[in-house]
Amino acid sequence: MAVVEELLRSESDGTISFGNHKLVKKAKLEDFKHAGDLLKVKTCGEITKLEKNGMFLYESVPGTSVLNFAEKESGVEFVVEGDEDAQITVGLTDETEYEVFVADKSTGTMKTGLGGKLSLSVELETAGEVAVRIVQV
C-alpha cells in the first residue's frame, strides 16, 4: 500500500482514500467534492484529519494514510497505514453502540457519547497496514 500522493481521492468503488503520513510539513486540501459532499483533509506525519461538510469524520495521531474509507448505514470501514501505532477517532452516530474489528478480530463493543466520537488504538508499527471495521450493534 502506498501513501495518497494527492491527499484525497475518490476510488472507483465509491470509497475515498486520504492522508499522507510520510509528509514532514502539514498539507491540506479543501472543497473536494465526493458523492454530493464537500470534504477537507489535513495531513502530515503528526496528524491526519478529515471533515465532511464541515463536520468531524476522522482523526489519527500520529498521521496515517487511509485507503477505501467507506461510510455505511451501519458504520465505517477502511484500511489504515502508518509507521507507528496510532490513536484513531471517528465521527459516528451519537449515543450508539458499535462493535470494533481490527484485522478481522473483534476488540469488543464501544458506545459513542453525545458527540458521536469513537476512539480506538491500532498497532501499525509491526503490521504496516490494518483493516478496521466499525459496525453498529
What pLDDT score does 33 carry?
97
What pLDDT score does 128 carry?
81
Residues 6+ apart with CB under 8 A from 85: 121, 122, 123, 124, 125
What's the CA gap between 101 and 109, in Å, rounded? 9
What pLDDT score does 2 carry?
65
**CATH T-level assignment (fold) for domain 8-136:** Immunoglobulin-like (2.60.40)
Please check whether residue 132 is in contact with residue 77, taking contact to mean a CB–CB distance below 8 angstroms: yes
127 secondary structure, DSSP code? T
Q: What is the pLDDT along the chain (137 residues), one digit of tens a residue?
A: 567 788 999 999 999 999 999 999 999 999 999 999 999 999 999 999 999 999 999 999 999 999 999 999 999 999 999 999 999 999 999 999 999 999 999 999 999 999 999 999 999 988 889 999 999 99
Q: For residue 101, give the amino acid letter.
A: F
Beta bridge partners of residue 101, listed in sequence order: 106, 133
Place of cell 464541515: 54
What pLDDT score does 3 carry?
74
What pLDDT score does 125 carry?
85
